[in-house]
Amino acid sequence: MTRLPVSLQSLVVQFTALLLTALLFPLLPILFSYQATLWQLALVQGGLAAVLSVLWRQPAWWPPLHVGFLPAVLLALQVNLPAWVYLGAFLLLVLFYWSTFRTRVPLYLSDRKAWQALTSLLPETRTFRFIDLGSGLGGVPLYLEPRFPQGCFYGTEIAPGPWLISRVRAWLKRSRVNFMRRDYETLNLSDFDVVFAFLSPAAMPGLWQQAASQMRSGSLLVSLSFAVNARQPDSVVNLAAGARHTLYAWRM
């Protein structure tokens, strides 16, 4: 089956589940003498969509979204909110999930455990340039900068909302971290000594190719949660139980 973008996959999943639910609806009174309510059908549709999502091997956050999508629509229709609320919610989603449909990297923030573990991988004495790819709200470089005064810290984020928040946070802290609103694929990673990423499994093969072709010998690539199949990491730092709490590092 041709691999569609996740956004189109999700449309196919939702409409297929809706069609299956519509076919199931007239059979229930015949087979079980049972007339389902609209809310029950919405939950059935969501369950079917979640199963289809798993079978299509979509990222782990999609099945719960499929389960809740149609019930959320019904709830919104019953609440009868003003039109501007929906417009505001749409604009907010655009600001924070600007190009997730293309990059397949949702806004998902790292925690302080990861930041603390990352300090053990950074140079303690010499100067270095550090960049966080997909820097979100700016937590990683803003945490590291005062602990490594010899470092130059950068973050790059394509979504306008998180990028603006990170810039405001840097201004309030009087930080020298340079937050750029750019797609990391357009950067030359040879400009940096340490590259940190917390992306998604879908983005890692492309990032590895970019890093392998651009990063200088001796520089360090660090990924939170997601490894690559092309090469075993040179070091692994386990933060807690589970793969999500693991730092993978490759010396290029």
For β-strands 246-251 and 235-238, DSSP reports them as antiparallel
Residue 98 domain-assigned (yes or no): no
Is there a single domain that holds both residue 143 and residue 67? no
Is there a single domain that holds both residue 125 and residue 242? yes
Residue 67 domain-assigned (yes or no): yes
Is there a single domain that holds both residue 149 and residue 47? no
Is there a single domain that holds both residue 119 and residue 194? yes
Residue 1 domain-assigned (yes or no): no
CB-count burial class (<10 Å; 0-12, 13-18, 19+) for 227? middle
Identify whether the C-beta of residue 229 lies closer than 8 Å to the C-beta of residue 204: no
Please give the pLDDT value at position 5.
Answer: 60
- Give me the CATH number covering residue 135: 3.40.50.150
Which pLDDT tens digits describe the chain residue by residue (252 residues)?
A: 345 566 677 788 888 888 888 888 777 666 666 666 777 888 888 888 889 888 887 767 778 888 888 888 788 777 777 766 666 666 666 555 655 555 555 556 777 888 888 999 999 889 999 999 988 889 999 999 999 999 999 999 888 888 888 999 999 999 999 999 998 999 999 999 999 998 878 788 999 999 999 999 999 999 988 888 889 999 888 876 554 578 999 999
Is there a single domain that holds both residue 43 and residue 121? no
Identify whether the C-beta of residue 94 lies closer than 8 Å to the C-beta of residue 208: no
For the chain, the DSSP string reads -----HHHHHHHHHHHHHHHHHHHTTHHHHHHS----HHHHHHHHHHHHHHHHHHTT--TTHHHHHHHHHHHHHHHHHHT--HHHHHHHHHHHHHHSTTHHHH--------HHHHHHHGGGS-SSS-EEEEEET-TTSHHHHHHGGG-TTEEEEEE--SHHHHHHHHHHHHHHT---EEE-S-GGGS-GGG-SEEEE---TTTHHHHHHHHHHHSPTT-EEEEES---SSS--SEEEE-SSSGGGEEEEEE-
Residue 91 domain-assigned (yes or no): no
Please give the pLDDT value at position 43.
Answer: 86
Please give the pLDDT value at position 28.
Answer: 67
Q: Last residue of a domain, which of 62, 80, 98?
A: 80
Q: Last residue of a domain, which of 80, 98, 123?
A: 80
Q: Residue 85 has which token pair?
A: 């609320």
The total number of structural domains in the chain stands at 2
Residue 181 domain-assigned (yes or no): yes
Please give the pLDDT value at position 114.
Answer: 86
Is there a single domain that holds both residue 22 and residue 129? no
Domain of residue 167 covers: 112-251
Is there a single domain that holds both residue 38 and residue 143? no
Please give the pLDDT value at position 98.
Answer: 58
Is there a single domain that holds both residue 29 and residue 133? no
